[in-house]
Chains A and B, each alone.
Chain A
Amino acid sequence: MIVSRISRFISDYQNLVALFAGACILISLFGILSLPLAYEENQIYPKAIDRTSALDPYDRGGTPFNTTTVVAQYPENSPYLGYVTAYLTPLSKYLADHTLHAGTTIVSHPGGIIDEILYNTRGLDTVVETSILLSAFAIASYLFRRTE
């Protein structure tokens, strides 16, 4: 019976990767066939990278400790939109106000190198991204430290 042959094939988890890869190929082919797709010029969070800037990959324009123009989906939900400093902790804010040791949020802040424009509007994404990393590390370290 063809049915039982199919079931025998898909019941083996060793074939799982092959099956899924096959599905990926099919849908990618469909995607290639449906090209070209139009690019929407009116994007949220537009980027203009200034290669000459000292802050090169992280420079998003605007003046530090001041507003930057950001196109957000719901500007009314982000009253501090464009104010990168708004997300500094009180201590960092104090440092930034009185010294030059805390710059922008790019690398001086827990949370690491995070696109600071997104930081203002998409805070939850940042949290989830780091949580994914945390759980991956937790699994790896548990397995590594496990005693037989």
Chain B
Amino acid sequence: MIEYLVCAAAFGLLLLGIHRKVIARIQMRPGPPVWQEILHALKFSFKSTWVPRTASATLFVGIVLVAIAIWSAALFVVLAGESILILIGIYMLHKIVEHGFGLSSGSPYGKFGGVRSVISAASEIPLFVTITAIYFFTGSLLLRDIVAYQAVHGPLLLIVPPAAIAMYLVILSKLPFGPFSIVESKEIVSGYKTEHFGVWRAALAVTDGLKTFVLLYAFVLIFLGALPFWLILALMTAVLVSLSFVCAITPVLSPYDSVTVQSIITGLMLAYIGYLWWVVP
């Protein structure tokens, strides 16, 4: 099991490296090598590390542990085929982790990152709408049931395409450099990550790797169903590259606009659910 964690984190970091590379190439820059994010994680773990004097020490360190722990748990939830509600819960609680990172240091940049993550929390309700749409068809939220449903009826991507789009947007909002990445956008240095340097940052990189892996893996499992493992990895990469295209050609929205756009998407999804409720007996 521990090997899954390590491999998932490494592969997730590799995906983030590919993400950066693709964006760079679209913008006609050479870009860093694809394994740059893995190197980053290692590099940061060798740096000397302490806790800033102004920080709330326990929270400053504790939140790093919590961050890795919740995404490790998320990976196990996905692997075990448990309820995707748990996965979504962990996803939402990643917001709390962002607050914790941002606020615990006392730095104004971190604080702005934390405040922005509060703002954007309300806009991530498309996730729940996605869930409801899936529940309409599968009648269960256990991942293994969803996969079993797709083995019979074909991929959910073709059955509920709007739900797939909503979850795609949600993953987009978690990727760096995207239109909704207001939490760590560059005008506030690195947002909530600003004050976590050295080993803390390395641990944060591990979290990012796990998070990217879990979200993309869950996306493929939920909307395409059980496939050979190599094909799943290939599809994850394909989804990520498509996301990178979106990130490369869109500007970062201003914080409140980002939330408004996401809320409008939620509204559209709710209308779609209403339509489903009307049509499907």
A and B touch in the complex (CB under 8 A): yes
Mark A residues whose CB is within 8 Å of B: 3-4, 6-8, 10-11
By size class, the interface of chain B is under 10
Known contacts A4-B256, A8-B256, A10-B256; 15 further A-B pairs (Cβ under 8 A): A3-B257, A3-B260, A3-B261, A3-B264, A4-B254, A4-B257, A4-B260, A6-B260, A7-B254, A7-B256, A7-B257, A7-B259, A7-B260, A10-B260, A11-B256
Using CB atoms and an 8 Å cutoff, list the residues of chain B in contact with chain A. Answer: 254, 256-257, 259-261, 264
For B259, list chain A residues within 8 Å (CB): 7
Minimum Cβ distance to chain A for residue B3 (Å)? 44
| Distance of A10 Cα from B119 Cα, bound (Å) | 11
Q: How many inter-chain residue pairs (CB < 8 Å) link A and B?
A: 18
Question: Once the chains are docked, how many angstroms separate the CA of A8 from the CA of B261?
Answer: 13
Do most interface residues of chain B lie in helix, strand or loop, or is the interface mixed? Answer: helix
CB neighbours (8 Å) of B261 from chain A are 3
Q: List 10 A-B contacts (CB under 8 A).
A: A3-B264, A4-B254, A4-B256, A4-B257, A7-B256, A7-B259, A7-B260, A8-B256, A10-B256, A10-B260
In angstroms, Cα B256 to Cα A11, docked, is 7
Q: Which residue of A lies closest to B119 (CB)?
A: A11
Give the dominant DSSP class at A's interface: helix
Determine the chain B residues whose CB is within 8 A of the CB of A11 once the complex forms: 256
A4 — which chain B residues lie within 8 A by C-beta? 254, 256-257, 260
